Every structure is written in C-alpha cells, then in structure tokens.
A and B are shown apart, each in its own frame.
Chain A
Amino acid sequence: MNILVCISRVPDTASRILVGSDGKNIDTQGIKFVVNPYDEFAIEEGLRLREKNGGTVTAIVVGTEASKDVLRTALAMGVDKAVLVKGKEPDDSFYVAKNLAEYAKGISPDLILLGRQSVDYDSRQMASALGELLGLPSISVVSKLTIENGKATAEKDIEGGKEVVEASLPCLISCQKGLNDPRYPKLPDIMKAKSKPIEEIVPIETQNKVTILGMSMPSKKRVGKILGAEDSDIDELVKLLHEEAKVI
C-alpha cells in the first residue's frame, strides 16, 4: 500500500499566542513549533497500515526550510520518505491544497492521510479540498478506520452520534483523536532521522484566494462576576442567569 501523509507545522498547543507587529499574524518569537497534533494520528495510522499490508509511507509538508524539523519527527516515527515543498510561508489553503495535489498526482497513493484540522488556522478543509482537486472521496474527522478489499470504512463524528461511511480507494481520511495512540519516536531513531534525506520540491505559485485583514485577541467581554458559595450567592447566580443573562 502506497500511503501519503500530509503534515503541517504548528505552534505547540500550550503556546501563548500574541499578535505580531504586522497586526495580521502571530508573534513567533519564543514559540516552539511541532507536528500538528492531529497529524500524529495520521502518521501513526499510516505506519500501522504499512506494518499490516506492506508498502511505503511518504510524509509531505508544504512549508519553508524550517518545516524540516517536523519531517524529521515523521522520519523518526518511521515513515519511509520525506518531502518538502519548499517556498513561502504558506498563508493560503488553496496554495497548500494545490501543491499537495500536484505531488499526489505524481505518486498516485492508495490512501492520503491528514489531520482533522491544523491547529493554527483551524481551517478543517484540506481533506475535502484536496479530495476535490484529485477527484477522490474523502472522509473527515475519522476515529475508526478499516481498509479492506479496495474500500475504506470509517466512523466519523457527526452531531448526535457517528456515521459509518464507505469510500472506494484511493481516498483521503482526516484523522481524529481516538483513531490510535501515536508512538513516541525512540532516541536512536531520532538520531538516525537527522541524516535521512528530505526531498525538496519547488512549489507551484498560486494567487491567494483569501486575504487576512487583521488579527486580534478575542474581544468577547465577559461579565466576570465572581460570587462565593453561600446560599445567598447561589440565589444571586440563579437570578443573574434568569434576569440578566436570560439563559434560563
């Protein structure tokens, strides 16, 4: 089985996010970048399917020179091949989708694995957008996956439950927590990954379809009324919810 895993490089989720001096992007000073947490599920799933069915797992990032660190993590976890589409800092989902599609067309994978969402812009669109560009089905937010007889059967989260979806291969799967427990790379593998080759590809430039106008810290004003736990406080809370917030 030929598997392509798409990974993105994002700030560690515990990072403190501040708006940068341009007012449109975050201040990256002091931020630690990591493999997008959902993409760890994608890498792990790819490795498990290879262990079961044979084949190769290729990891790809559309990014900059700096993105090599996440590819090294993927190599340390055990992917066979790492590819960097090396250009500008990707700031448009269409640019990423287009470049992923271009590479995928060249290797015709049986399965493309992605994360449910990239925890920077939380776009949650790549599996569908890439699938559409390739004319292939995609199943998003998948927490259980079986590949058998040229078909993928997957459970995905929907409002009020789960749906079981069947798709013909090749297809795309966006991975959700619960799918597997990603392995931690072992120290010798981390060392070995440092000297493994990373294929570099020149990106196709595209016209940005979305422009960010500004970034700000969330502005929702909270009432911020903090009460004690006396009976009178609880009476007060119920009154506030009823009369002020009007939610009960």
Chain B
Amino acid sequence: MKKILVYLEQQKESLKRTSLEVITAARTIASNGNIPIVGVIINGNPNAIKVAGEYGLAKIINAKHTLLEKTSIMGFSNVAYQVAKSEDADVVIFAGNAAGMEIAPRVAVKMEAGYICDCVGLEFSDGNIVASKPVYAGKSMITAKIDSENKVFSLRPNVFTSSKSDTVVNCEINDFSPELTDKDFKDIVINVMKNEGKLDVLEADVIVSGGRGIKGPENYHLIETLANTLGGAVGASRAVVDAGWRPHAEQVGQTGKTVSPSLYIACGISGAVQHLAGMSTSKTIVAINKDKDAPIFKVTDYGIVGDLFDVLPKLNEKIKSILN
C-alpha cells in the first residue's frame, strides 16, 4: 500500500459527516503502515478544508475547473481518477452515499481496481485491507479482500465513527486543474428536489418508524411527535407505504432505504426480514409491539411489549422531560 486517497464532499461550510467518517476510517488503516492519506475535494471552500485538518488530513487536492460547476457522476469520477493517478494513490475510499455509490465503481474501472462497496468494517491485517460487508439484505455478512494492486472501497454511512485527530495538522491545499471536456459530462444534474423542512431517514441520527400497527395515517402524528422530540426523522414499513399512508421516501427496508442511525425505534412493525434488511446495522434498536412474539424483538436492544397508542405519548413525555 502506497497512499490512500479519500473522496470528500462539503456541506455548507464544513465537510459532510460521511466524509469525516471516511477520513477517520482511513486513519485507522493507515496508522498501522504509516501510509500517507490525501483528500480530494471539488471546489473546496477554506472552512471545509480546515475541518479536514482537524480530522488529521495533511493534504487536500482541491479540484477546480469551469465545467465542475455542474454536477455529473462521469465528470466527478474522472476528477477522482486523475487525482488518484497524479498522487500515485493505490487505495481510494468513498462514502457510500448516493453520489459515492455511483462514482466509486467508475473510478475502480478506470484504475483497474477491485471494489468492495457498502463496507461496515475495514481492517489492516497481514499487509492487506480486509473489509466486511452485509450481503443477502443483511441476513449474512462477508469478509473480503481485493487482489488487484489498486483498491477502491465505499463505506456505509453512519457505521464508522468519526473522531478528530489528537494532533491537529495544518492541512496543505494544492489546487488541481483536471483535464476535462464536455464528453466527461454526459450526465448532468438539472434539478434538486429537497424534502423541504423534513429530515430524511438517510441523514438522520434518530429514526422513529411506524408499521401497520399504527392503524391509519391519522395516527401518524404519534410517530412524528416522538421523532420531533428526538430531533429525528420519520420512517415507515412497506405495509404503511403500500397502503398509501406515507410516501415511499420514508420506507425503510430492502425495497426502501438502508439506514444506520444511532437510535431506531420501530413502532407497530412486525420485523419482517425485508424490513430488517434496511435497519439491522442501526446502533441501538428499540421496538414497541403488542405481540411479545413479534420477530422484531429478536433484533432489538430494548423492547416494550404493549399498545403503541398507550406507550408512545407517555414515552414522548418522559423523553421530553429528560432532554430538558
């Protein structure tokens, strides 16, 4: 292993949390072999770059080009590749968010690298990186290694913790002008539709989800109230989405979103394998269900066997008082 390149994304004046996770993960594998880590960012702003220094990154390549005003998977992939090449990095790590999941495989092909996606563990052992990743919708887990010289990984968001480095380094910034033409921009984002004012399950640290046990959309305020109290997002089982009670954007599970919050509270959800597929790597799982034999209790840390219509308002009040 020669050098690790981490792909960074900024959010407002800082780096995305997922980028901080990637830097921290890179630090753990690099420290065993004293391998340098470099970051690449597109149109990076000074504040974001300062944050990278706090997380122990000593060098950032800031890619700038007029074409990079547009968002394009092909374009961004080409930039990451050119930086990897010019830095002579043989390991590239991405956050496994929507953009990372599209860019990483392209960079891997360009580098003739093997690629392991959606990693939940990365370890340096016997001179190689061993990755673990959920397969079969989280029903099982594999460990794998990449045999090619170049290696690309993406990390499942929220699974790796991020921590500042003990020693704050002064991050050196090198501007880089990639060679790009219109041909690199065959795909372009023409519009972004944000779920205004609503926290998305993919970004939330706490998710409160409702299942068929909620009985109807008119009762969903119980879920929303608790989510609000906790500063979290509202999720749903497929049964609830199929019934038209909630939008598909909120569906957690195999055909919905895969989430990994610190706290997942499942209310009136039975715990079908397809639902578990989307949330089983959450750090702490709580279930509220009136059926003590519901399969969800097999994967929960803390369970309440009871009627959610009783439990939720009380739970909300008690959490509120502890938060104050």
Contact = CB atoms under 8 A, between A and B. Distances in A.
7 contacts: A127-B102, A168-B186, A210-B116, A210-B145, A215-B140, A233-B306, A241-B319
Size band of the A side of the interface?
35 or more
Contacts of A14: 273
A224 interface: yes
Interface residues of chain A: helix, strand, loop or mixed (majority) = mixed
Contacts of A124: 101, 117-118
A248 to B, nearest CB: 6
Main SS of the interface on chain B? Answer: mixed
Given A161-B194, A234-B318, A247-B206, A226 B109 contact: no
Contacts of A223: 301-302
A241 B98 contact: no
Interface string B118-130: 1000000000001
Contact of A225 (B109, B115, B303): B303
Given A216-B141, A234-B315, A248-B263, 7 more contacts: A129-B106, A160-B199, A165-B187, A167-B186, A237-B315, A241-B286, A248-B322
A144 B272 CA distance: 27
Contacts of A123: 117
User: Which residue among B77, B140, B248, B299 has the maximum number of chain A CB atoms within 10 Å of its CB?
Assistant: B140
B186 A137 contact: yes
Given A132-B77, A161-B192, A167-B187, A231 B314 contact: yes
Contacts of A128: 73, 77, 101-106
B225 interface: no
Given A121-B135, A161-B194, A19 B315 contact: no
Interface in B268-324: 273-274, 280-281, 283-286, 292, 297, 299-307, 310-311, 314-315, 318-319, 322-323
Given A122-B118, A137-B73, A228-B305, A238 B190 contact: no
Contacts of B73: 128, 137-139
Contacts of B284: 241, 245, 247
B225 to A, nearest CB: 15
Contacts of B306: 228-229, 233
Given A11-B136, A138-B102, A93 B115 contact: yes
